[in-house]
Structure 1
Amino acid sequence: MILPGEPLPVHLMNTIWANRNGIHDTLATLDSLRGWLAVVHDDATAQRITEDDIPYFHTLRNALRRLAAHRTDDPRARATTSPLTPHQAVAIINRAITQSSTSPQLSLADNTLSSTTTNKGTLTAQTLAAFATQSIPVLTTAPLHACLAPACVIYFTKDHPRREWCSTTCGNRARAARHYHRRKPS
């Protein structure tokens, strides 16, 4: 599920989503990973991702979800199934950040000075580093929340003081469940 306006790390966290048929993984196959990356990040990068890269995206996503659950005191059992401890999740994110580096370089060609950027690390490492780097403010200062609607496993950044759910669908489902429980005979 891609919620508009969310930061890239939240998009990655939300590649685990649920509906009436259960919990789903948007990154389960190479085609689905490429399609998702093309929408949220970059189509050129998406086409160069290989089957071998899928576990790296899963690992970073699990670390992000574990820390989001930690930060939000997420009570949802379905959303917090990561076997990682918070310390392990922090180590995974820090390792992703350091696997790639970008550094500015000065060059002189045809008597003209110019600036270029040198990227170190594989394309996958660069992509994961971008997600991991952007996760720092999301996990530390952003108004990150867990959607507490029935059966939802999504995280979102609260962009309005009255926002309680990730989407209007979840809001409707939560209100309907509340109404049902109030009207349900004992």
Structure 2
Amino acid sequence: MQDALPADSRLALDLALTVRHDGHGGVADDLTDPAGLTAWVRAHADALPLAPDYAADARGLAAVRDLRAAVRALFAHAVRPGAPSPADAARLLPVAQALDRLNTAAARLPTVPVLHWTDGADPRVGRRPVPDGDDLDAALAQAVMAFLTGPDRQRLRACHAPRCVRYFLKDHPRQEWCRPSCGNRARVARHHERHKQAS
């Protein structure tokens, strides 16, 4: 289930999900001001290499919003041939621009090599970010890279239930929507459309 995702996968998805359905037929954005970003970062403090008293400013907010636009464009690219989320389908960044934005952000956070060696497996070297409170977008970019190059990317889908704009990880072969409530809305909409056509 999605709650048991690796931190990088959860963080990448949660960043994309700061654009969401507002409950009234529109789209809401959780990152409209520095206070919104501060609250989001503090809610994800366990997955980010930042000081616990992190407070966003306008520059940091702009950087994270720019990165989120790149992430949503790359998620749309990852779900092909399926359709992207309707929230930004008409205004997606070109893939090359999204990749450049992601790579540029990720390059600002230095990493150090870390040896991993579990029983029954060969040793392998990974990379770990060096914490720096000014590099939130860089830390997020590296988490997104880990997600996009990891196995969870193959399960990424856009939910196409009425009014939903979320991306989700498909947990079983028949799953079509991000949540049961989206499945219910989709079935009700199909039922309504069939009865409307029959009239």
Shorter chain as normaliser: what TM range? 0.7 to 0.9
How many residue pairs align between the two structures?
173
The 1:126/1:87 distance shift into structure 2, 3 A limit, reads: closer
Q: Once the two structures are superposed, what CA deviation does each residue of 1:98-145 show, in whole Å capped at 9, x if it has no partner?
A: 11112259xxxxxxxxxxx88276332543343333232269843110
- Pick aligned residue for 2:130 from 119, 138, 147: 119
- State yes or no: 1:15 paired with 2:18: yes
Contact 2:85 2:167 in 1 (8 A): no
Superimposed CA distance per residue, residues 16-56 of structure 1 (whole angstroms, 9 cap, x where no aligned partner): 01132411101112222122222234485463242220011
Aligned to 1:113: none
The answer on 1:170 being equivalent to 2:182 is yes
- Percent identity among equivalent residues? 32
Give unmatched runs, 5+ long, in structure 1: 106-116
Matched residue, 1:95: 104
Give the letter aligned to residue 65 of structure 1: R
The answer to whether 1:26 aligns with 2:30 is yes
SS of residue paired to 1:17: strand
Q: Say which of 146, 151, 157 aligns to 1:134.
A: 146
Structure 1 pair 4/24, CA: closer, same or farther in 2 (3 Å)? farther
Q: TM-score, normalised by structure 2?
A: 0.74
Separation in 1, partners of 2:70, 2:136 = 17
Shift of the 100–26 alpha-carbon distance from structure 1 to 2, 3 Å rule, reads same
State the Cα distance separating 1:63 from its structure 2 match. Answer: 0.5
5+ unaligned residues in a row in structure 2: which ranges? 115-127
Pick which of 61-70 and 29-38 moved more.
29-38
CA drift of 1:181 comes to 1.0
Task: Output aligned runs, 1:33-44, within 5 Å.
Answer: 33-42=37-46
Q: Structure 1 residues 119, 80: CA separation in 2 closer, same or farther (over 3 Å shift)?
A: same
Q: Distance in 1 between matches of 2:180 and 2:138?
A: 34
CA RMSD of aligned residues (A): 2.8
1:161 is matched with which residue? 173
User: 2: distance between equivalents of 1:88 and 1:161?
Assistant: 33
1:62 equivalenced with 2:73 (yes/no): no
Larger Rg: 1
Match of 1:50 in 2: 56
State whether residues 111 and 130 of structure 2, in contact with CA within 8 Å, keep that contact through their aligned partners in structure 1: yes
